Structure 1
Amino acid sequence: MTKYRRIFACGVVLALALSGGVFAQPSGPEDPDVDLGIVTAGEGGTYRGWPIVIEISIAHPKADLAAIKGETVQPLVVAVPSGRWTTLVKLVIRNAQGDIQPWPYRLLTTVGSSLTLDVESRGGLTVVLSPEAMAVPTVGRYSVEVFLDSRNGTTAASWKGVSSSRLEFDLKDVPTTPSNGLACKKGYVFSEYHSALGQLSAASSALDTALAQAPDELVCLVERAELAERQGNTHDAIDFYQRAMEAKAQLPQEAGGESSSGSLLHRCLELVKKLPASERHPLGIFCAYVTCEERTDGGTCPAPAKSAPAVPKRGARTGARMDGKAQ
């Protein structure tokens, strides 16, 4: 199963904004790697009125290779004398004509005055645009570019330079008759937005709404299982993993991708192991739990501790599945 999770762009060019124009030059081998990702509805775009989640990653340029070799690297430090190092980060959004867009994005990540980059440590920032904000722009192609510019306003020991990353996406009108696949995509995008804000109940509701229309959409079932697991709702997570495996079994084999039924079963069984012994199946090989009514230990059933999923347990596929989300 592939997910339409994010569009990613790796920064390979530095854009130096100087008086009189913008000039590009190759990134130096000692400059941090800046990666930019957007949670989208797949196929390189998203829809008006849907939120946008932008993820920015800053890493040591030699971290990946050093990790493979089991080596260490000389740390890079990005630091300002006081305040937050995110004052060095600039996000620029332009339309197809190159005009800067005054979109009211919101930085969610709280940081300190310095960032240390090595094999194990990297910087991560999350920026969001609300559904209300994204209902205003017109349809078209837009670009997002992020700059890490530490040439001024940093400490003496800080790395000095500019590193950047850029990507493009299409903003489209929502179809008048959304398909099951699009319903799941919307649920996923809204779930990621609410999760970024720490609103896990709202994130769950977004996926439940999508699954009420498209109960067999594999990506949304897996995402809902993972969300239930994050919330500590082990029984719900097991239920959704079971449904995901059943949905996966209905797809052509090549559609499974890296998240095959086997890996889903493994993740579910890891959850089953965390249940009390009285709730685990004796053989321990099933993605399921023993309900209180099915127990044979003679204990008294307590009041239900979990609510049933807000979407039907089963459902026939009535529309085309989603194409996938870029990982």
Structure 2
Amino acid sequence: MLETVVTSLTNTMGETLSLRDHTEREQAWLDLLSTNKLKHLKTDKLLEMALNSKCFRVAEYLYERQHDYSNIIPCYLKDPVRKTEVFNYILNYINVSERCIQEQFLVNFKELVAVSSKKTSEIVIEYFPDLIEQFSEMLEDNCDLQYVFLSEIVLGDVKLPPRIAEMKYEVHVATALLLEQGGEWTEAIELLLKHDMIEEGINLCIRGAEHLDSEGAQRLWLMLLQHKRETENYSLRQLLHAAAPHVPPAQLLELVSNVNFGDVRNLLQGILSDYTHDVQMLSTTLKLLGKDLHYGKYTVSMI
């Protein structure tokens, strides 16, 4: 009778089970195992039957009973119902040496990324930060997986080697940001200007003015102004306007005095004239506002 039951539980030929039916069949099989009703069958035979019938919960149970932990993660990954639960298993046993989670994580890394690049990257950042480059190399034959994995790593505020950050889609902005985070401001602006990313270069210079000393900030703006732009998106006047709030006018004049842009004096004079006009307008506005407030208070007191 038990043989008949087992045959019925494992027979998948000529029928398509619903997810519910498959789950119930698998649970019945687990109940028989837990009550030791199938002790007359060898474990290897049971494993073969479980894998052939895609009863991966049963296979996991048998592997656990044998203390064969090297095949448990694949049981999760092959099970469409429990794929995402693999990360709970990893986190629960990651510090249990006999489970050899690190070795299993390496072997099944590509499949784990395919299930969830976010959860995989979180585990990498927390437990295997020194292996990021190795993990990236493991995904080189699948550029899409590699890109989503590295994207999650970058979002996790991890400083990647520039070579890794730039190997897919030439994500120069991300690479420049990593260089900036590492304090390599000059290398960051050079990379952006090399690819004519003027707007990103301006933003980098603005941030540099907040974090660097005056000499370092001036050096960044000089590199930006000296760049031979191939695009017409930004004129020299626009660049000087961008630099003006972050570099004193006297230093700005000195900054471009040796730059081969032709006659920049007229441009600077125009900028300074605009600046003076803006200051005058602001001063006049403040005076008018002061008068309005004064008369407003006077009127209230009279009432």
TM-score with structure 1 length normalisation?
0.29
> Which of the two has greater strand per residue?
1
Return the structure number with greater relative CO, CA threshold 8 A, min gap 6. 1
TM-score (norm 2): 0.31
Larger C-alpha radius of gyration, 1 or 2?
Answer: 2
